[in-house]
Amino acid sequence: MPTYRIPLTWEVYGHITVTAPTQEEAIEYTLGPDCPLPEGNYVDDSVRVDDLVNIAVLEE
């Protein structure tokens, strides 16, 4: 029986506390690469197969 490697994506919902001069700058920081991802909770029914990545056959 074949074995497959299936690429998945899912959503997580969380909050982060940011100190910034303006709300716009706080949002800009949270969306940038220097902001750590917060702890979060899985969003129900958000798991999806990533159809932009090929499904790999690991063993035939």
- Encode pLDDT of 6-27 as tens digits: 999 999 999 999 999 999 999 9
Asked if 47 and 6 touch (Cβ cutoff 8 Å), the reply is: no
The residues with which 12 forms a beta bridge, in sequence order, are 42
- pLDDT (average), residues 32-44: 96
Can you give the pTM of this predicted structure?
0.66
Q: What's the confidence (pLDDT) of residue 59? A: 80
CA dist., res. 8 & res. 5, Å (int) = 10
- pLDDT (average), residues 31-52: 95
Assess whether pLDDT exceeds 90 at residue 56: no
Q: What's the confidence (pLDDT) of residue 54? A: 86
